[in-house]
Structure 1
């Protein structure tokens, strides 16, 4: 991997991580997931690790450049160790997102539906704000349907016109039907989960090639000069 590619990779990963952290739709879903038994959303973990890996890749690119330019085994050794550590972090991100993707399919629906029944119509916590934002954005109501709220009364975000929560009911003609938000939530999370998994897998492959290249260069470099190949 060329040095300028390493710099661009580091900058790109840092930008991607910041983008994931700041996207409003992702933050809304993160708030929903944090209400479950997950103490911190795997999306947040992955985004923070991506930022960290991006910064580290950018910095170790400097050592790789220095080691190749100065033909220093010390710099190259540090570069190899750093890339190996980055590779381990990338594998960790890959495993976290793979496990989260599996849980997304089998565990989150029931948790979200259970929390939906505890919706507070009086006060607005980050959870209520996230639910309202998703329902307004995707024009849906509840997880599987509006009946997830367990009563005729619905949040005002389930109505297509401005109304108070006391005026928005399942029988209201202005309600967003009975279609739930689960599909919209899953589609959004699945999309970004696949993107993160794909990018992480690609970077793992690049890291392996980077390690092999650096090891080959290290074996042929002595401090101050590159060992010439034997004549044929």
Structure 2
């Protein structure tokens, strides 16, 4: 009976480790996509947003490795000392994952956070120097080009004089010096504002990433608890 119990316990732990590794891969993918998108908005995004993504990417990467280790240990080793070590490492990673997920959830619900990003975008339109462009203007052009947007809410409300930064042009052939000579009528400029683009590209994806990371942290803790119980209550994993 003990042998059967041990086989069931090992099979359960192997399957659970695989599920957790897959969940970690999903978190890694989502966080990587969000991080890549945030990088496209350059200086408009505060550093703590990048820190959350980097933290989730790092934690999920280690958890994938932990899941692989759990499969190997459960399948081939069966040594309680190794499993307890695995449990301790897992608890540490659970804490790290939930901390960064909590930070992300706090940022998403914090109006000051979104206000900061919008204010940065507004400053980009106000402070763009058409006469003597430098690195700051180049970074704004890069944001517009990479995200295919112009201004904050709409290109014409952000630049009411009609003078548009080079990054608002879809093709460099329509750029003269630092000014985009394309028009909305010709379809040669980006008309969508970057704030609308940002909310479409990032907010929902970031919320999904944070929510799944929280669920994932709970799932991992359930795995660790199950591991501890299986090690303690079965006789198929002797020291």
What TM-score, normalized by structure 2, do the two folds share? 0.71
Instruction: Note the residue ranges of structure 2 that are not aligned, 5 or more in a row.
Output: 1-14
Is contact 1:71-1:224 (8 Å) kept?
yes
Partners of 2:70 and 2:194 in 1: CA distance: 48
Deviations 1:128-166 (A, max 9, x none): 23333156x24xx31134343575422134356724244
Aligned residues: 214
Checking the alignment, whether the CA contact within 8 Å between 1:3 and 1:64 is kept in structure 2 is yes
1:132-147 mapped onto 2 (5 Å cutoff): 132-133=144-145, 137-138=148-149, 141-145=150-154, 146-147=156-157
Q: Which has the higher contact order (CA 8 A, sep 6+)?
A: 2
1:86 is aligned to 93
1:2 aligns with 2:16: yes
Look up the match of 1:111: 120
Unaligned runs of 5+ in 1: 227-232
- 1:184 and 2:193 are equivalent in the alignment: no
Give the 3 Å change call, closer, same or farther, for CA 8–68 of structure 1 in structure 2: same
- CA displacement, residues 59-104 of structure 1 (integer Å, 9 cap, x when unaligned): 2224433543433221121121112111111112212211221344
Within the candidate set 158, 162, 176, 2:168 is matched to: 158
2-structure distance, mates of 1:179, 1:60 = 44
Q: Residue 5 of structure 2 aligns with which residue?
A: none
The corresponding residue for 2:61 is: 55
* CA distance 1:179–1:79, change in 2 (3 Å): closer
In the alignment, which residue of structure 2 is the partner of 1:148? 158
Maintained 8 Å contact 2:90/2:220:
yes
Q: What is the root-mean-square deviation of aligned Cα atoms in Å?
A: 3.4
